[in-house]
Amino acid sequence: MHSTTKKQFKKGDVLLREGERGECAYVIETGNVEILVQRDGQSIQIGTRGPGSLIGEMAMIDDKPRTATVRALDDCEVQEITREDFARRIETADPVLKMVMRVITTRYRDMIGRTGTIQFVPPTHAAETAENADASHDVALSAIKIHNELKLALERGELMLYYQPIIDVQNMKIAGFEALMRWKHPEKGMISPGVFIPVAEEGRLIIGLSRLALDLSCDAAKALQAAAAPELLGEAPLFVGVNFSVKDFVEGDLFNHLKATIGKKQIDPIQIHLEITETLLMQAPDAARAELEKCREIGLNVSIDDFGSGYSSLSYLHYFPIDTLKIDQSFIRAMSTHAASLVLVKSIIGIARNLGMKVIAEGVESAQEAAKLREMGCEYIQGYWFSKPLPFEAALKFVQTWQAPKLEVEA
Ligand code: C2E
Ligand code: CA
Ligand code: CA
């Protein structure tokens, strides 16, 4: 059984009780609640809240007993934010922000204490500020909601991987795949990783996601290798690139987990490529270097993702153990219209060759781009030109039946 973070209350139920310790806060999804305080032995309503409101957060910020009781005015559905979850978010918040929250909470409590009522009238001249506050409030609420739903999705098996083929452009054989996560939401359909990965990265949830991706990728790499038509593959075993985040290194004990998984799955480590962005390397350079060295020693391949889109300081190429550079798709896109981009791509390929690294060009969308890359000596290409990311079954079919598209070679 998994614990749900969604809760239901019937009309008249007490959601939060005055005097209690703040164990959780709620975001109201449906229904309305009233906020009650005790004055001279009487319960006085000091306000109401409806869908989208956050309630019960104060006692978690300052760790004092609750100053009010919250009761359901009708049947309500709420998302729960646990104390632990909240504490972690606060811990990682900016220190000034933390202080501001405490000051506001104290003033707010004083105000309730003095007047017994809350009459919050935003100053009219501050309309824009109020709007901004509303917008960031909405963003925060939707992140909390996605986070809670994502936690459930992981438990319920709604997260899956798509596999995008990577081709050796020199001989047009299948070299490997990149594993890209998808969330098959029961109501909203397929959700893109651009929406949920950043939310997962804010907390520790990303560690669970990365572990799932690694597990599934090991199984997929073995199954695809076994099913492939031999003439469609190159000489080396087919690889699967798995995306990792900074949290995996710093908090996720990544190396030990990788080692254990590779042992358990009995997979040749050469079949797994770790994809890491340069931004990640710069966030925790020493920790990343130490972990990557160890990964390298056990035979894993280290790829730099989105190369050129972040820091782009070439000096780090020496510092880290890197096998492959993945050139960011923005360069590939600009190649045909900007001569400078073409020169840049050429230079990256040259640097990689001199340092003994391979290059994967990302986001290749046309035969012309592929032909250019081949001419410049790029090893691998990935992009919509020959395939979008595919569900596992389709990837299986791909390695059995793919027919390489014609590559125009320019005179
Ligand atoms: P990424 O690692 O740079 O992945 C490449 C993205 O480019 C994918 O988007 C892919 O579908 C898209 N793409 C590939 N070929 C083309 C093309 O020819 N044209 C265009 N316009 N796009 C192309 P996707 O699948 O939406 O993933 C977005 C990002 O989400 C990934 O960028 C990666 O940063 C992140 N992500 C995906 N799966 C995972 C995961 O399992 N773990 C982590 N940490 N991040 C992930
Ligand atoms: Ca990637
Ligand atoms: Ca990329």
- Look at residue 127 in the predicted model and tell me its pLDDT: 38
- DSSP, residue by residue, 145-195: HHHHHHHHHHHHT-EEEEEEEEEETTTTEEEEEEEEEEEEETTTEEE-HHH
Dig out the tokens for 342 from the structure. 């073409």
pLDDT for 122 equals 34
- Which sequence spans correspond to the domains of the chain? 6-151, 159-401
Find the 178 Cα to ligand 2 centroid distance in Å: 7
Considering only CA atoms, which residue is closest to atom 23 of ligand 1? 363
**Quick check: CB of 277 below 6 Å from ligand 1?**
no
**For ligand 1, atom 7: residue with the closest CA:** 363
Find out whether 91 and 50 touch, Cβ atoms under 8 Å.
Answer: no
pLDDT tens, 183-226? 999 988 999 999 899 889 888 899 999 999 999 999 999 999 99
Give percent of the chain above pLDDT 70. Answer: 85
Length of the chain: 411
What pLDDT was estimated at residue 107?
A: 63
Angle at which helix 254-265 crosses helix 205-227, to 10 degrees, equals 30
Mean pLDDT of 24-52: 88
C-alpha 271 to ligand 1 mean position (Å):
19
Ligand 1, pocket-test mutation among 180, 181, 207, 279, most atoms within 8 A of CB: 180
Closest Cα to atom 45, ligand 1: which residue?
243
310 versus 117: which is more confidently predicted? 310
37 lines ligand 1 (CB under 6 A): no
Q: 91: closest CA among 66, 58, 133, 61?
A: 61
What Cα–Cα distance (Å) separates residue 65 from each residue in 60, 88, 115, 246, 279?
Answer: 9, 20, 19, 37, 42
Q: Is 365 in the pocket of ligand 1 (CB under 6 A)?
A: yes
Nearest ligand, CA of residue 166? 1
Q: Is 334 in the pocket of ligand 1 (CB under 6 A)?
A: no
**Bridge partners of 71?**
14, 34
Determine the angle formed by the axes of helices 205-227 and 392-401, rounding to 10 degrees: 30
Domains 6-151 and 159-401 share a fold: no
Q: Closest ligand 1 atom to the C-alpha of 248?
A: 44
Task: Decide: 361 and 332 in contact? Cβ < 8 Å.
Answer: yes
| Ligand 1 center from residue 206 Cα (angstroms) | 16
Average pLDDT, integer, range 91-108? 66
Q: Does the pLDDT of residue 276 top 50, yes or no? A: yes
Ligand nearest to the CA of 280: 1
pLDDT top residue among 258 and 336 = 258
Class of domain 6-151: mainly beta
201 lines ligand 1 (CB under 6 A): no
SS3 state of residue 311: coil
What number of other Cβ atoms are within 10 A of residue 325's Cβ?
24
Q: Which range, 58-62, 183-187, 266-270, is most confident?
A: 266-270
Mean per-residue pLDDT for 111-138? 47
Say if ligand 1 is within 6 A of residue 332 CB: no
For 409, phi and psi rounded to 5 degrees? -100, 125
Spacing, Cα 399 to ligand 3 middle (Å): 22
Classified by CATH at the fold level, domain 159-401 comes out as TIM Barrel (3.20.20)
Kindly report, residue by residue over 338-348, the tens digit of the pLDDT. 888 899 999 99
Contact of 292 with 280, CB cutoff 8 Å = no
Q: Which residue did the predictor score with more confidence, 93 or 352?
A: 352
User: Residue 370 in 3-state DSSP?
Assistant: helix
Ligand nearest to the CA of 194: 1
Q: Are 361 and 385 in contact (CB under 8 A)?
A: no
Closest ligand 1 atom to Cα of 275: 2
